[in-house]
Amino acid sequence: MILKLIALAAAAIPVFLFLRAMFAKRPSRFAEGLREARKQIDLAIYIFIGIIGCVVAFAVGKLAWAWWASLSPG
């Protein structure tokens, strides 16, 4: 009997949490924190992509400079 009650509670908890999440008026602190973390992660990714872009641009510029210098007769 006690196992049936535990199973019923285990089945009811996700339903209760889902309904509370669907009909809740204000966002939870966890959701706000998650949203802020996503913003921070996006910013970090953009900064990383920018740094990689600068490194690639510098490498291409260096290759172009070496190619241009090898074309000169002197």
- Scanning 1-74, the segments in alpha helix (DSSP H) are 2-23, 29-71
Q: How far apart are CA 63 and CA 57, in angstroms?
A: 10
* Of residues 70 and 12, more confidently modeled: 70
Give the per-residue pLDDT at 6. Answer: 76
Amino acid type, 47: I
Place 27 in a pLDDT band, splitting at 50, 70 and 90: low
Give the per-residue pLDDT at 25. Answer: 65
Task: Write out the two tokens for 10.
Answer: 């285990």
Place 74 in a pLDDT band, splitting at 50, 70 and 90: low
pTM above 0.85, yes or no: no
Give the per-residue pLDDT at 40. Answer: 94
Q: How far apart are CA 20 and CA 14, in angstroms?
A: 10
* Of residues 12 and 59, more confidently modeled: 59
